């Protein structure tokens, strides 16, 4: 059976990106003392810890698999790949510092403290930048702006890939008349 191999990096990065806003919302709602449908500050703190620790635990293999998969698919490190690597390392360091500050009780209590800004703004900004570069790498030619891609048949003269392959084929291609096949 023909199938695409599983790309572990692609699967892991979604969790990292999802944990950043979860941590931000949990931190803000905990600090504001908001209760939503029975979810109070204790639950918000638990969600904050789960999001931060989860982000750190998943970001490490996501970064390593990104490096590994990149080395299998590309011959060099373009700017977008280097930017993703640097941003991934920044996120790991930032989240590690946030966890250490929360654990020790340092870093301030409010949303305007360095800890609050790191969790609410820093993590989300880095996750957004990682998403931007990840989508730019993944979607490549599907960007909003114009691309350099020109379909083969729009070239002058048109290029028919079947003609190019036929030159190297050892046997002539089998021609099937679709209209006759359906009537028999």
* 123/167 same-domain check: no
Structural domain for 22, as ranges: 8-142
Residues whose CB falls within 8 Å of the CB of residue 94, separated by 6 or more in sequence, listed in order: 118, 122, 123, 126
Same domain, 75 and 125: yes
In this structure, the answer to whether residues 80 and 160 fall within a common structural domain is no
114 and 91 belong to one structural domain: yes
Same domain membership, residue 55 and residue 90 = yes
Could you tell me which residues come within 8 angstroms of residue 139 by beta carbon, excluding any fewer than 6 positions away? none
Q: Could you give the number of structural domains in the chain?
A: 2
How many percent of the chain have pLDDT more than 90?
40
Convert the pLDDT of each residue in 8-30 to its tens digit. Answer: 787 889 999 999 999 999 999 99
Q: What is the pLDDT of residues 39-71, one digit of tens each?
A: 898 999 999 999 999 999 999 999 888 888 766
Look at residue 177 in the predicted model and tell me its pLDDT: 73
On whether both 35 and 70 belong to a single domain, the answer is yes
């Amino acid at each position: 059976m023909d199938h695409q191999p599983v790309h572990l990096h692609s699967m892991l990065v979604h969790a990292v990106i999802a944990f950043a806003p979860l941590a931000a919302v949990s931190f803000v709602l905990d600090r504001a003392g908001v209760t939503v449908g029975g979810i109070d500050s204790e639950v918000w703190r638990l969600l904050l810890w789960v999001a931060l620790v989860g982000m750190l635990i998943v970001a490490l293999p996501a970064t390593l698999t990104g490096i590994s998969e990149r080395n299998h698919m590309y011959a060099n490190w373009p700017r977008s790949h280097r930017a993703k690597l640097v941003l991934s390392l920044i996120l790991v360091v930032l989240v590690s510092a946030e966890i250490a500050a929360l654990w020790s009780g340092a870093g301030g209590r409010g949303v305007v403290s360095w800890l609050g800004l790191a969790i609410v703004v820093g993590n989300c900004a880095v996750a957004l930048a990682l998403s931007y570069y990840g989508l730019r790498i993944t979607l490549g030619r599907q960007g909003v702006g114009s691309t350099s891609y020109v379909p083969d048949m729009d070239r002058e003269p048109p290029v028919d890939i079947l003609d190019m392959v036929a030159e190297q084929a050892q046997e002539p291609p089998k021609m099937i008349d679709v209209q006759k096949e359906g009537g028999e």
